[in-house]
Amino acid sequence: MKLAVVPALTLGLLGSFVSVAGPAAAYDRVSGRGCTVRPLTPKDARGDWVNFPVSVKCGDGRKLVYIQQRRYEKDRGRDTRLHDGRYDEFTHYVHRGDRYEVVDRYDRVSRKLDRRGPEEVYHEIRFAVSERNGRLEWSGWMRSGTLTGVNSHQ
């Protein structure tokens, strides 16, 4: 009898854990307000400039999305956070819900970050969608792909 009780309790606890963890994991990509926000792989622009784009889509449109963005230069050990560890915060108003909108965010990347070779950069974002009561519930941080070859040293 004891053997049957332990597995039943274990499954019950596991089931309650999965039901609690499930929505939190899904929130990283899609909020409860029907919006999908993703960091896209950075794109090299002219000179020292790099575009760190963000894709935003809200199913029914007409939503105000708050986005926080951190930019990094990839290193062998610990990655270097650009701009002294600060992050950018901006808003994007979604007008239409039938397509993805790309928000371009340009930034300079110094040629002095690596001593050899080109820079490798990526960014992380998190987002929240405004509610009627004014409260914001932030997603977890999401990481983009890495752009290699910024500011090639020749």
116-152 tens-digit pLDDT = 667 889 999 999 998 777 778 899 999 999 998 876 5
Enter the pTM of the model: 0.72
Structure tokens at 101: 């909108």
Q: d(Cα 40, Cα 28) in Å, to the nearest integer?
A: 14
For β-strands 80-81 and 49-51, DSSP reports them as: unpaired
Tell me the average pLDDT of the chain: 76
- Provide the pLDDT for residue 128: 93
- Provide the pLDDT for residue 116: 63
Mean of pLDDT values over 101-110? 89
Q: d(Cα 31, Cα 36) in Å, to the nearest integer?
A: 7
